[in-house]
Structure 1
Amino acid sequence: MLKGLLGNGDSDMQIGIVGLGLIGGSLGLDLRALGHRVIGVSQRPSTCEQAIARGAVDQASPDPRLLANTDVVFLCTPLGMMETVAQQLCPHLHPETILTDVGSVKAPIVASLSLLWTNFVGGHPMSGTAEQGINAALKGLFVGNAYVLTPTSETPVAAVDTVTALARALGSRVYHCTPEVHDRAVAWISHLPVMVSSSLIAACSHEADGAVLEMAQKLASSGFRDTSRVGGGNPELGVMMARYNRDALLAALYQYRDRLDQVITQIEQQDWGSLETHLQATQQQRSCFQFQPQ
């Protein structure tokens, strides 16, 4: 039991994955390729069967007792289910098992799950596609992308080191920060873009002149495609972002609205010099963001 934690580094572990969708399935594919034994848990027996058939897990079942002898368990359920699933799961885990999650919001998840399990490490692999479910799982999904871990002062160092080693083995670029810094950062670069993008789609779709709307739909190309992409994603995920990262997202939305109001004023007043200065500044500032490969 726990041989990966008791002297053999991060090799040949027994790893559990709860939630066999895009992220959970992709983790399974890569972790098995690294030589680990992967055990999956999903509510639907059909998903368990698909995960086995796809090679994402060695074994799978709806029964969380299957994870009793795992070294590390990745919790890959939707944000709204994580605490409930963890409550059902923890009584079946060995005391030394490390529990980590993949949620896109960290502060509330870390606060609740750390109370349930001492060996919990908050995590967020910033990888994904527009597709969902086990059939969307991909090998190499995490290569080159950021993987954020959010330990607190009470998180066991050994647990952080183990999850860090696993994330790096997946080919990810690992970053450590507090849950609060993570949530404020992703509000800007992930959650705000979803709301802005969806609002763009909604605004265009409410064009009153049918002929104009039809022509806009026909002419839409790379500019509209790129700025509308995340707004056309999973609605449930968007609601979870807003619900669980509400304060940070609202702060970002308010500041975005202020900037947009400034642009509106510049155009209304035909202040082309100020508008050009604004666009020159954003042209330079964009290069400061390290875009992740997709």
Structure 2
Amino acid sequence: MNIGIVGLGLIGGSLGLDLRAQGYHVLGVSRREQTCEQAIACGAVDTASLDLATLKSADVIIICTHIAAILPTVQQLIPYLSPATILTDVGSVKVPVVEAIAPLWQNFVGGHPMAGKTESGIEAAQKELFVNNPYVLTPIASTPASAVQIVEEVARSLQAKIYHCRPEDHDRAVSWISHLPVMVSSNLIAACMGESNPDVLALAQNLASSGFRDTSRVGGGNSELGVMMARYNRQELLRSLNSYRQHLDDLIAIVEQENWEALEQQLKSTHSARPRFLKE
């Protein structure tokens, strides 16, 4: 099977490495010649080009651009595709993508492999990035079952855990466990940088270790991706942010009232709840 990948960054490059290892013939397209050369050199693709026409022989094409570029990419791809070609994407928001692409291309299956790193670009691509991580597919009523089956087969070859859900449910779920954490983590960094005493700020920076590293990691990642999350999943992100603000207000009240028993109960509750979000 020939698989095309548009966008040879972290996700596209990592997909290419693993798919080639599984015996797929991988065709890549990037906006930069240097990226094409790097992708070939590191083994992420068999061939790479700046020209979307390169993908006319692909059976499945995975669009790994940022969210705003998915629709224009599909529109530019369509003249080169056969009706049987299957399109899928890796965007972290699904409702606007599915609503835009499904009317244009019947064999489109919304997808979201939930794996990543703070680094970006083809240089950050790595093998087995998707192993044991969720890979969400969001078919709708008009999506052909045969197309879903083939995309699932490709995702399973990555040893990912496959989940099917409605685009709306996906976006609400990821607003909690992906998009909200990015915003909260970013604001943690911003709050720390707001320390008015430069000596205390310098001390805090020198003392920061694993706790700060873990809680600030996603907030220190790719800013473009963070903006895309907020822009394209705005309503669900606002819902989760408002809920978080209410919980934070409740926490402030507990500390102001020195209600240590209530604080202990809350910490015990979150201690027991956390493993439910991190199943092995």
- TM beyond 0.5: yes
2:12 is the counterpart of 1:24: yes
Tell me which residue corresponds to 2:59: 71
Kindly state the Cα deviation for residue 16 of structure 1 after the two structures are TM-superposed: 0.4
Matches within 5 A, 1:45-60: 45-60=33-48
Tell me which residue corresponds to 1:6: none
**How far apart, in 2, do the equivalents of 1:119 and 1:213 lie?**
54
Question: Percent same amino acid among aligned pairs?
Answer: 61
Matches within 5 A, 1:36-51: 36-51=24-39
**How far apart, in 2, do the equivalents of 1:25 and 1:111 lie?**
27
> In the alignment, is the contact (CA less than 8 A) between 1:70 and 1:94 conserved in 2?
no
Matches within 5 A, 1:22-171: 22-171=10-159
Tell me which residue corresponds to 1:228: 216
- One-letter code of the match for 1:86? V
2:178 is the counterpart of 1:198: no
- One-letter code of the match for 1:47? T
SS class of match (2:135)? strand
Which deviates further from its counterpart, 272-281 or 102-111? 272-281
- One-letter code of the match for 1:242? A
Deviations 1:18-53 (A, max 9, x none): 011111111111111111111111111221111111
SS class of match (2:88)? strand
- One-letter code of the match for 1:268? E
> In the alignment, is the contact (CA less than 8 A) between 1:39 and 1:59 conserved in 2?
yes
- One-letter code of the match for 1:80? A
Kindly state the Cα deviation for residue 256 of structure 1 after the two structures are TM-superposed: 0.3
**How far apart, in 2, do the equivalents of 1:138 and 1:213 lie?**
36
Q: Give structure 1 stretches of 5+ with no counterpart.
A: 1-12
Which deviates further from its counterpart, 245-254 or 134-143? 134-143
- One-letter code of the match for 2:268? Q
Deviations 1:243-268 (A, max 9, x none): 00000000000000000000100111
SS class of match (2:196)? coil
Kindly state the Cα deviation for residue 197 of structure 1 after the two structures are TM-superposed: 0.3
**How far apart, in 1, do the equivalents of 2:62 and 2:279 lie?**
26
2:160 corresponds to which of 172, 175, 188? 172
SS class of match (1:115)? coil
SS class of match (2:102)? helix
**How far apart, in 2, do the equivalents of 1:29 and 1:272 lie?**
52
Kindly state the Cα deviation for residue 291 of structure 1 after the two structures are TM-superposed: 5.1
> In the alignment, is the contact (CA less than 8 A) between 1:38 and 1:57 conserved in 2?
yes
1:256 corresponds to which of 203, 222, 244? 244
- One-letter code of the match for 2:152? T
Kindly state the Cα deviation for residue 92 of structure 1 after the two structures are TM-superposed: 0.7
- One-letter code of the match for 1:183? D
**How far apart, in 2, do the equivalents of 1:273 and 1:197 lie?**
27
SS class of match (1:68)? helix
- One-letter code of the match for 2:261? G
Deviations 1:255-286 (A, max 9, x none): 00000000100111111121111111111111
Kindly state the Cα deviation for residue 290 of structure 1 after the two structures are TM-superposed: 2.4
**How far apart, in 2, do the equivalents of 1:290 and 1:215 lie?**
33
Kindly state the Cα deviation for residue 221 of structure 1 after the two structures are TM-superposed: 1.1
**How far apart, in 2, do the equivalents of 1:239 and 1:231 lie?**
12
2:204 is the counterpart of 1:216: yes
Paired residue total: 280
2:174 corresponds to which of 168, 175, 186? 186
Deviations 1:160-202 (A, max 9, x none): 0011111111110000000010000000000000000000000
TM-score (norm 2): 0.98
**How far apart, in 2, do the equivalents of 1:291 and 1:77 lie?**
29
